[in-house]
Structure 1
Amino acid sequence: MKWFTLAAASLTAAFAGPVETGLEKRFTETVQPFLATYCVSCHSGSAPAAQLNFKGYSTLADVVKDHPRWALVAERLKAGDMPPKPMKHPEPAANKRVIDWVEAVRHHEARKNAGDPGIVLARRLSNAEYNYAVRDLTGVDIRPTREFPVDPANPEGFDNTGESLAMSPALLNKYLQAAREVGNHLVLTPNGIDFAPHPMLVETDREKYAIQRIVNFYLQQPTDYATYFEAAWRYKHRVILGEPAATLASLTLAPPAPPAPSA
């Protein structure tokens, strides 16, 4: 597979040179004279129409850098909107040659860059991702980014892209504070470390943590409260029930005694 990729890259590089040379030649011999005849009179100078100065495009590379605008030029030429009336209009064949050239440039660039995603920006975690990561690592929903600025969105509306998730010095300080906050939840245990749902800053915090662990232990037990309430009631009335020596343990574990037969 690797040799195939290398071969494809070599072929692409081999054909790119002649194709670009041909496009450059067509730009010089066809496109530039067309622009000089029909476009430059309005689209040049210090205040060009539509802020489009065709004199700024002297090579194929200049066009490639600003291809979205040239795609718009091709669309306007296809629609017959440019040049505007009453300006002199080009012959349909000349118009088509320029349109074909713009499309040829687009197809060439698409083939040349096929499979290349472009620059992939390094990015930080979004606020939500950071909160989830801390929760997964500690087992506690600390949400350390609640004091962070809201994540900005890019023009498409996504807030998890490299261009929107930049890191500033002020935000870096926020991350350091968040790390300290997570560290404040750290608890040393006989078996290693754990994280409390509240900061562990003073001794009473440790007591609160220990009590909560006990409570959580009992909350996790499959307790049938009806059985215990019945045992408590039977223990309270054990004499009347004919079980004066009964204990809570025996009443909880043993089934209730059958009622004594009536005389």
Structure 2
Amino acid sequence: MDVGSGPYNPRSVDDVFRDFKGRRAGIIEALTTHVEIFYQQCDPEKENLCLYGFPDEQWEVSLPAEEVPPELPEPALGINFARDGMEEKDWLSLVAVHSDAWLLSVAFYFGARFGFDKNERKRLFGMMNELPTIFEVVTGTMKKQVKEKSSATNHSSTKSKPNSKVRGSESQPKYSKGMPHKEEEEGLEEEEEEEDEHGETLCGACGENYASDEFWICCDVCEKWFHGNCVKITPARAEHIKQYKCPSCSNKRARP
């Protein structure tokens, strides 16, 4: 398994962080959007298998590297053996935890290899720690947005977040040229509170934060929110969906 060789070698903190984000995105895709394919590839009858994430946001289930020691730290070995001996959600959570540990080990391997000092290592960890862990994304342990659910009920035909569609020229300004009127002040305060609450929400596919200029959609089954782009749903298409199921919930089926 040739994971770290070739012309690609991150040498700065920003390079290593980009590498981290790419590998992380690939693994999150395997454990969420492509979970059915991932599940099938982790056949317990096969040899020890590992889940690899790559800098280009791709993922692969494969055998570990043959050379010892390998070019990069190896992911958890034999993830496929526990597949049928655990509840699927527990197994996926376990893979997610080990994947988080692997990403950290790869990032700090690069840091050690290229001589990052204390401040550079601290900066690197801080940047990585700003993102939710794979475990948090997969298990949905992020904060629930109660007000979003009530808002979603009011917009059940689309299940999209209030104010989440792209704002265009039709948006009305909250301030007049002079001092804002009382009604405008109250509306502005409500909008600011709503945006603060929404800002804590993370996409169930990519794990990134909510942004007010993006279209989002909520799964009726797991109640997770997703970027429309991440699940390939447009605002126009959402208008015709009575009950939306995310890719993970759509692919779930009874396990033997």
Instruction: Using structure 1 for the length normalisation, give the TM-score.
Output: 0.20
**Which is greater in Rg?**
1
TM (norm. structure 2) is: 0.20
